[in-house]
Structure 1
Amino acid sequence: MKTEIRFTHQSLVENSKSGDRTAQYQLYELYVDAMYNVSMRFLGVKEDAEDIVQESFVDAFRNLDKFKYESSFGAWLKRIVINKSINHLKVKRLPLAAMDDNEYHLTNEDEHEYQNIDAMDIMKVKSGIEKLPYGYKQIINLYLLEGFDHNEISDVLGITTSTSKSQYHRAKKKLVEIINTL
């Protein structure tokens, strides 16, 4: 009978810091699927997402000494995966849609139009997100799915907070248009 050693997340991180390959493998096993899903939402290409996840784990293990438990290990790793996914898209030259900061403003009347999106079939929403241009897809993924606020999005993407808000509004409007055609 095989004996399984179970560690807490903190002990896995601490053991990984000291080079324990078993602990590193256990951390990898705990997070690989979730990190793959995060990367896939950004990249949409299986092979690219797999590469990004592998690179992210390598970077995380190399830089474990910088992990200070200010967040969970999973949140720290997720940030690495998101940044690497976005950088991968930038290298492929898939920028955000260009727009002026004052081109589109959100009003209370516009908000009413989007209140029914929560009631829509989730498969339609997922399908609609997949059909969005990459820039819009990034904003939707970061804001709705990853829970980033506009300040965090502006930091990650290197844009202004107002551009993040405008892009999100336009992405949401485009998503509604796409879903209505499905």
Structure 2
Amino acid sequence: MDTLFVDKHYHLVVECKQGSKKACFELYKLYAKAMLNVAFRIVGNVAEAEDVIQESFLDAFKRIHDFRQETTFGLWLKQIVVSRSINLLRKRKVELVELGDDADNLADEEQYDDQETHYKVAQIKEAMNELPEGYKQVISLYLIEGYDHEEIGQILNITENTSRTQFLRAKRKLSEILSRKGITQ
């Protein structure tokens, strides 16, 4: 028997399912900023990230009756955002995940106070841009977004084993790039 995951915003989801526009707006206010950060880290453009989250929320609210609360609403919505972001990238056929200076939540703000850390983060971002697209997708989803290999497999329509392999190869390649540039890890 499936157990329902009791989300702290369960009541808003229930009201939203019953057609409450106010509940939908409350869910939007609760999750919009976090979802914008997710989309931005993937598409690398604020305007496109805003479009992605708008489409994602519309999609989520249209499909709210499909949400079975086996996980949190936030995780379910995040999967929609990531999927739409990746679809956008596939449409425009560009490199995935250019981490801009505006990206939130990449490291503690205290770390950014250190000049050396600033420099290393910029070098790692630059090195990540040299990775092949498949490597960048997997390493970004795993390290930055926090997905596990099973979830990455579902998102990218690859096997869990392929995700693990791509991740290991991406780490090795990133390490090579950083070593070539004389950056210690």
Counterparts of 1:18 and 1:123, CA distance in 2:
51
Cα separation, partners in 2 of 1:48 and 1:68, compared to 1, 3 Å: same
Aligned-pair CA distance for 1:127: 5.4
Aligned-pair CA distance for 1:123: 6.6
1:151 partner amino acid = E
Instruction: Provide the residue aligned with 2:38 in structure 1.
Output: 38
Matches for 1:1-182 after TM superposition, within 5 Å: 9-94=9-94, 121=117, 124-125=120-121, 128-129=124-125, 131-132=128-129, 133=131, 134-179=133-178, 181=181
TM score, norm. by length of structure 1? 0.72
Of structures 1 and 2, the larger Rg is shown by 1
Say if 1:94 and 1:135, in contact at 8 Å, map to a contact too.
no
Q: CA RMSD in A?
A: 2.5
Say if 1:52 and 1:85, in contact at 8 Å, map to a contact too.
yes
Q: Which string of whole-angstrom CA distances, capped at 9 and with x for unpartnered residues, describes residues 29-88 of structure 1?
A: 100010011111111111111111000000001111011110011011001101111111
Cα separation, partners in 2 of 1:126 and 1:85, compared to 1, 3 Å: farther
Cα separation, partners in 2 of 1:165 and 1:123, compared to 1, 3 Å: farther
Instruction: Provide the residue aligned with 1:102 in structure 2.
Output: none
Return 150-159 or 126-135, whichever deviates more: 126-135
Say if 1:140 and 1:172, in contact at 8 Å, map to a contact too.
yes
Q: Which runs of no fewer than 5 residues in structure 1 stay unpaired?
A: 1-7, 97-119
TM score, norm. by length of structure 2? 0.71
Cα separation, partners in 2 of 1:37 and 1:126, compared to 1, 3 Å: farther
2:68 partner amino acid = K
Counterparts of 2:122 and 2:136, CA distance in 1:
11
Q: How many residues align?
A: 152
